[in-house]
Structure formats: structure tokens, C-alpha cells
Chains A and B, each alone.
Chain A
Amino acid sequence: AAGVIQSPRHLIKEKRETATLKCYPIPRHDTVYWYQQGPGQDPQFLISFYEKMQSDKGSIPDRFSAQQFSDYHSELNMSSLELGDSALYFCASSPGTSNWDEQFFGPGTRLTVL
């Protein structure tokens, strides 16, 4: 079965650089979530999209922005990177048809900021 695809899987950036993380949801899933998991931490919700519109926003820094495109893939843009942005970034998708929908997680993008 198709799974959530995230690219790249690993990314190394310098401070103050910009990074773009991509997420390709499972086909026919119209809801995408982004989570950030710091070292030894639990995943923290950043932002979500339903039918290409932002549906909820969590503790996402102003330096970050995201969007969902017409083909339902999503991109998380991160600017002015800081050392503290080093983390595992998960994308999850769900069908968006009921409250019971499971969120299917991608493998994550490991971002290292040097």
C-alpha cells in the first residue's frame, strides 16, 4: 500500500539558511499535518491543511511557512534557520472523511542545522 512520502529524508543546513521540506500524502488523502520532534522530545504539532486550506496552527515559528498544493502535496518552508530547528519533521496525512480517521505518518525528514 502507498505510504506518505517525505523528501528529503536528511538535510543539513547552516545557520541562517533556508530549507524546504516536502510531503506527498497517501492518494485520496486531503488532510496533511506537520509535526516537529526535537531530540528526546515528543512530536509537536506545527500546522495542518484540509483541502488546500490551513485548518489549524500550532507552535510554528513565524520563520516557517507552509502550504498545500492542488495535487495535495505540502511543503514546509523554513527560513533563517537556527540551531534549535534541528529536529525530525514528520508529515502525516488522513482521508479527512471522519473524526475516526487515522493519521498516517511519513518516515520524517531529519534536519540538522550547523
Chain B
Amino acid sequence: AQTVTQSQPEMSVQEAETVTLSCTYDTSESDYYLFWYKQPPSRQMILVIRQEAYKQQNATENRFSVNFQKAAKSFSLKISDSQLGDAAMYFCAYRSPGGGSEKLVFGKGMKLTVNP
């Protein structure tokens, strides 16, 4: 079974600075999908960014980018120019390819605090 590990339960960053959230995973599959979800105090789950394992190019979405290291099974999220609205729980998630097993497997999450 696939597992996702987020070893840092909490982090803080100053507004406008850059922060990196770490995530590692374990799988025997060669193709899969990785995601970062944000959960603000409203508890809504919001997709931040996603990465396909067979794509070597790291995904980027505006201020959010990932460092995907397939051999190391590492998938970190970098938030640039941090904003107060970035404060939330961040969950790293793994998803197998199709065939009826497309469930998301989440890490334990990391609470990000943004200081003004």
C-alpha cells in the first residue's frame, strides 16, 4: 500500500518570504499522481498543484511550485512571496493510476502560519 509522510507538523513563514513544505511517499508503482491540497480554517479542501510521475518537469502554478524527485520519492511544495491567505493546513496526497483505484492517500498534513 502506498504511504505519504509529512514529517513537519507545523511551519511558520514571514509574509512575502518563501517557504518549502516537504513530503515523501512510498510506492512500488512507476506511474502515479501527486497533489498538494490546502485546507484553510473553513475546512474546504482546495487543490493547489499536481504532478504526474512520468513528467520530469516540475509543476508550477503562480507562486506555487514543486520539486519532484522521483528516485528519492520526494515531492516538496515551495510557496513564494507568502501571503496571509496562504495560512492553512497543507496535505500532500498520492493517487494511483486508473482502474477503479483512484482514491487519494493523504499525508498527516502540515499547519502553515504566515506572520505579518
Measured as residues with beta carbon below 8 angstroms from the partner, the interface class of chain A is 20 to 34
> Residue B98 at the A interface, CB < 8 A?
yes
Q: Interface of B with A (CB < 8 Å)?
A: 33, 42-47, 50, 52, 91, 97-98, 100-109
Within 8 A of B (CB), among A85-112: 88, 90, 92, 94, 98-103, 105, 107-108, 110
- Those 3 A-B pairs whose CB atoms lie nearest each other, nearest first: A105-B45, A42-B106, A45-B103
Where chain A touches its partner, the secondary structure class is: strand
Where chain B touches its partner, the secondary structure class is: loop
Q: Interface of A with B (CB < 8 Å)?
A: 31, 33, 35, 37, 41-45, 48, 50, 55-56, 58, 88, 90, 92, 94, 98-103, 105, 107-108, 110
Q: Which residue of B lies closest to A101 (CB)?
A: B102
